Structures are given as structure tokens and as C-alpha cells.
Structure 1
């Protein structure tokens, strides 16, 4: 199954075709078979216009095929044949990743209630490979992917801490918002290694602000003694969270009574932020002689402080 898919309306759908190296059909949705062989999406690409493509799909394509990153550059000296081949690869990727709701469900993709919705892109849940009823083959809207995974991890962490005998859990949610204005003349935006910077004038203004919100859980605490062991099979994220394992070990073997942990939204499960920025820059006109853009990015961090019940006096 694909890591990222895009949903379109049923009336736009055409049968999925198997692509192979000997005969590839790059006809896209909305294009007659006798039309441009690259289809409607590829025509837009040939005209150096990326806006018809969802950012998440372009991002997924570049992550899967890094050489496609050059499509975001404004290199006028690039060989036209090589560029056309990359456009064909991108067109093929987009066609393969595009489904109607009926096609997606028939192919075994699972979604949250109310989804899938036409016009939205979806990313595969990090635990989709595991035989867990809730996450197996599950796809989450790309726009809320990082936030969803963060909240899911926090929910499981709370369950783990409660199982370890927590009597007080404090969660401070810190949201950092970065707003920036960019004015550029005479060249393309320098958006990381996949875009070569050109000489020109650049003016960047960045303003960062942070807001905090704290929640507190006061608990009676589950019964706990030196021989108590937590059932690991009830926790799916635990195996991938080293800091959680450390608290678990400290509690089970050292009688830990207080600990702090941190959950970040931007993790290894998140999309490459450099690629994301490059796509946005390209769509805002980064390759033009004059470019003006605004961007707003949010990063969320959850700081968790926990206090556990002490061991019963008779076992000290």
C-alpha cells in the first residue's frame, strides 16, 4: 500500500491500470486517451505550474523519488528531455496515488469516520503494518497527520502512567507559531539543498510566539508494589518510545516516584519540512523575478510531569 494517497470525486475516476517498465500509460484523470500522453496534471507541469497538484502528493513523490526535487528549481539550463522524463515520473506517481472513495475502500484502505473525502490527501498511519484493529491499514488526513499522531501518543502515554500508579499528571501544551514575510527580487527562493540560490535581494522577517495550556489529572493511584509489572502488550507505541521505556524501568525496578517526559509533534514520522517549504516557495512564485510570500508554521510540544504513589511501608 502507498504511503500517501489523494481522493477524487467518483465521476472523475477511471479504471486503475497496472504500470510496468515495458508499456506505461501516463494518461491522467480528466484527459482523453487520445490527448496528451502525460495527462492533465503533466500538462500543468510542462508549463511549470505546480499548483494543481496537492502539496502532500508532490512531497510524497519527491520523498520516494529524490531526483524529482529538481522540478522545484528554476534552472533554465536543465536539459529539456531529462526534465520531461521527471515530469512523466511525477505524472505516473500522481496517477497511481489517486483514488475515488470507492476505489480506496475496495483496495483495503481504511479511514476515520466521515472519511475519505474528495479533494483531500491521506497518509498511512505509522502503525498501519501492525495487527491492531484501530490502526491496521488506516490512513489519516495529511493536513492533520502530525497533530493526530501526537495526540494518539499522548493518550497512550497517559494510560501507561496511570497503569504505573500515577497520582498526578501535569501536561503543558506549548504551541510555537512562527510567522514570516519574505520579499525577494532577482532570483529563486533558497529553500534548501534541492533549490539552488541565485543572486538577488532578499528580506525576511520572522516573528515567533508561544502559547501554553496546562491540564492536570489528580488520581487516587492504582495499587503498586515492588513486584508489580505492566502488561506491555496493551501498549503499541511503547516499543518505539525510548523515554517511556526509561520511566517504565525506573518505576518497576527503582520505585520511581516522579518523572518528566516530552512529546514533540515533529518526529521521524513527520514529513520532510525542507521539501514542504520548497513546494510552498515554488507555488508562491519563488522562481519569478519578484516574489512575496507569507508563511505561518506551528510546532507543538507536550511536556508531561508525573508523580507516582510511593511503595507500601511494609515492603521497604
Structure 2
């Protein structure tokens, strides 16, 4: 079997982040594009030598955006059939044109499937270019520092499932070279060229423009920035979790705001976000966060209530709680 430096890189990733003494079951989310085929090849070659993954499943989500989706599915069925592993195809019955809506639905399906079949690891084919595009998209949308680094290498979903992006530090050019070297049958997705899609416009217009007129090394510089940002975010996140644990009520769904009041604003915001996401699966609006923090410093405070979506947020007697 011919190996390449991408095989070596994939091996180093598995050795670094996984305990090879304990075989695991994995689920690979695929599309049919070059990233997916590169990932399939790397995983199958790795397992052929090491026999580490005792159960390999593939999952494909049909968005019904394309007229050739049925042909694409058949193409994947034929290709995965040669691996002797299972592939599961899910179809989104209602056609959503919103990219963010599709992404949420896709992840919900993948996570439910992983939980159903007791899969420990989910592999996705996100590459370095995807990371750059996501950074620029989130920057344009006005997200915070945590959102700017929203494609981490590993994301722990719960105690049983984690998402790993083994190609996240590999460029699209290297992946394309790999596919050509092994003559992998890439299925071209024409929706990747629709300029109505913000990600495509960033890929084909904004990034090339920045490289030509501002800095030819813009991609490398952004990647280095994201690495530093990820380290700093992790530090803030760990401290915010500790502060949240120290401030939450032992029985009720509430946090003691006097505990967080004297902390840095960055930690206050993170603790509030953790509280609402953990208990209500909601991401706080920045305006609501600002209101809550403002109320923390009101002297002789009477009971204050803020209505947000379907929640009534109360601030009273040193506590923030929800009805």
C-alpha cells in the first residue's frame, strides 16, 4: 500500500488524541467531495494496517438542494460498498435554503445517529480552508472571540461522543493533490459555485481579493491567529466553568451574581452564557447579557425581571434565576 505524508499526519493525529489500546466505533460524515474522499481513504488505509476501528459507519445527509442528489447518493453507495462498511443516508424532507438552518439539522441528525449506534467518535472532513471561511463569516456577523474559533480540532459533545476534524490543519490544495494521486472519484457539487452562498463568495472573491491587494500570506496569518486565539479561549473557558460551578445554586436553577460581580467582564459574560446554554440550550443575545451585567451593579436593588423569548429572567437578593 502506497503511503504519503498525509497518511503520516493522520497517524500522528490518532496517536496523539486517542488511546490505541482501546478500539473504538466511528462515524464519518461525508458528502462525496474531495475532503470526504480523502478522509475515507485515510481512515480505510489506517484501519487496514492497525485494525483500530472495530466498527466504521458512514453517514450522508441529502439536503435536496441539487438535481443530481440521487446520482450522488448512488455514487457514494457504490464507492463505500467497496469498503465493506455500512453507509446510512438521511434525507431532509423539507427543503431549507438557509445554510445555518441546514447545518443545525445536519448536526442533529448526525448526533442522534451516533447516540443510537453508540458511536464514540464522529469524523468530519473540514479542512484548513473551511476554518478560514468560517472565521471570516463569523467575523462579518459580529461574533465574539469564541465564535471566531468555532471549528476546533476536537469538540467534546458529551461523555460518550466527540467530533474530530482530522483534516482541519490540511489545506484544500494538499487534499486535492491526494485525491488526484490515488485517482479518487470526486463528485463535483455545483452548489459550491453559487455566489448566493456567502461561504462561496468568501472563497472565490473575498479571500483572493485580500491575498492580492492586502497580504499574500493572509491565510497563513489568519491560521496562526486562530491557533493563538484557541489557546486563550480555552484558558478563559476553563476559568469561566470553574466560576460557574462556584456560583450556581446547589438545588435551584440560579446563579449567585455576587460571586461573579467582582470578576472580569469576560468571565461574567461567559458564566451567563454557560448558565443559559447548559440549563435552557439557548445562546444569550448580547443585549440581554449587557442588561444583566448592568443590573449587577445597581445599589439597593429591587426585584428586576427581563423577558427574553419564552423565559422570564429575575434578579433578586443576589441571585439570577429563571421562571
TM-score by length of 1: 0.22
Structure holding more helix per residue: 2
Structure holding more strand per residue: 1
Higher relative CO (Cα under 8 Å, sequence separation at least 6) belongs to 1
Structure of larger gyration radius? 1
TM-score by length of 2: 0.22
